[in-house]
Amino acid sequence: MSHSEFAFVFPGQGAQKPGMGREVAERYPEAARIFREADEILGFPVSRLCFEGPADELVRTENTQPALFTTSVAVLRAVSNHMAPAAVAGHSVGEYAALVAAGAVSFEDALPVVRLRGELMADAVENTPGGMAALMGASEAMAGEICRDASTAGLVEPSNLNSPTQIVVSGESPAVARAVEVAKSRGVRAVRLNVGAPFHCSLMKPVQSGLEPALNALPIHTPDVPVVANATGDYVQSAEEIRAALLSQVVKPVLWTASIERMNAEGLHRFVEIGPGRVLSGLVASIDPGAETVAVGTPDDVEKLALQAG
């Protein structure tokens, strides 16, 4: 196994799709083992949900998060035969898979925490109706101004700083609707996202307090490779820093642009997106136009990557 100059990145909610992980589990015993362990740990067949759907069950937050985490780690196990990362990061719930890749947490320990995170966020959807919208072509400063001008209708905050041209905002539904209007009036394309909760903003405080005891009990080790945290856009090294980053991640914006730029500063311009979809590959290309990105979600993708790893 070669130590690469590739950073591994792991997708967040929205990347899930029925069929994810199935071919990888059929081809690689170490991937199949992860799905079996997940079924045992969770007490329900999350593997079947990943492999077959139905989509309306998979899209439920309490299911999406453990399903996505399990799939990403299963694909990681197949990739790990050929390559070890130079650094890791994950988008939102993807940060948990990144920490597994870095050896900071075990899959078995982290999975119940991820499931709880999903359940708490699903509860928040019921108790804190809100939404999210993507502002296309807005700078961070412009997104901040749009939120300030929309705050007459309620709380709305920047929540995902995804790329220099894509900022997501979260908040109370009337305020998000107002932010979309304000954005459009300034020539910014704005799209309401198909999510039922205002993730990564201060309205998620109840999730944070519910998750804290589980995070405090989670065994965390010093990572074997550098980990960049969503909440800070910088490296986290100690168990205390990792715990704090996972906790604050719930209510703070995902600093994805800063995270990629931090790895760029270390000379990393090659990225492997591990799990379903290609969302992060697109964001990375927007942040670092010279970057080499490879999305790995199927056995063919793994084999191609193995050839590159040499």
Domain that holds residue 142: 129-196
Residue 249 and residue 289 in one domain: yes
Reply yes or no on whether the pLDDT at 3 is more than 70: no
Q: Dump pLDDT digits (tens) for 155-186.
A: 999 999 999 999 999 999 999 999 999 999 99
The DSSP symbol for 151 reads G
Reply yes or no on whether the pLDDT at 288 is more than 70: yes
Lowest mean pLDDT among 11-25, 195-209, 255-269: 195-209
Domain count, the chain: 2
Confidence at residue 67, expressed as pLDDT on a 0 to 100 scale: 98
Q: Dump pLDDT digits (tens) for 89-126.
A: 999 999 999 999 999 999 999 999 999 999 999 998 78
Residue 138 and residue 121 in one domain: no
Q: Dump pLDDT digits (tens) for 140-151.
A: 999 999 999 999
- b/e for 246-256, b at 16 or more Cβ within 10 A? bbebbbbbbbb
Residue 35 and residue 175 in one domain: no
Confidence at residue 4, expressed as pLDDT on a 0 to 100 scale: 63
Average pLDDT over residues 70-76: 98
Mean pLDDT score across all residues of the chain: 96
Residue 29 and residue 41 in one domain: yes
Reply yes or no on whether the pLDDT at 230 is more than 80: yes
Other CB atoms within a 10 A radius of the CB of residue 42 amount to 19
Reply yes or no on whether the pLDDT at 211 is more than 80: yes
Domain termination residue (choose one: 171, 196, 221): 196
Domain termination residue (choose one: 138, 172, 196): 196
Residue 252 and residue 149 in one domain: no
Average pLDDT over residues 213-238: 98
Helix (H) or strand (E) holding 163: strand 156-163
Confidence at residue 309, expressed as pLDDT on a 0 to 100 scale: 83
Reply yes or no on whether the pLDDT at 197 is more than 70: yes
Average pLDDT over residues 55-61: 94
Average pLDDT over residues 72-77: 98
Residue 25 and residue 174 in one domain: no
Residue 173 and residue 299 in one domain: no
Q: Catalytic site residue 92?
A: yes
Q: Give the domain CATH number at 104.
A: 3.40.366.10
Reply yes or no on whether the pLDDT at 252 is more than 60: yes
Find all residues with CB under 8 Å of 251, minimum gap 6, and list them: 200, 201, 202, 204, 205, 207, 208
Q: Give the domain CATH number at 174.
A: 3.30.70.250
Which one is catalytic: 200, 259, 269, 281? 200
Residue 11 and residue 47 in one domain: yes
Confidence at residue 310, expressed as pLDDT on a 0 to 100 scale: 72
Residue 104 and residue 240 in one domain: yes
Q: Catalytic site residue 200?
A: yes
Domain termination residue (choose one: 147, 173, 196): 196
Other CB atoms within a 10 A radius of the CB of residue 26 amount to 12
Q: How confident is the model at residue 129 (pLDDT cuts 50, 70, 90)?
A: confident
Which one is catalytic: 72, 92, 170, 281? 92
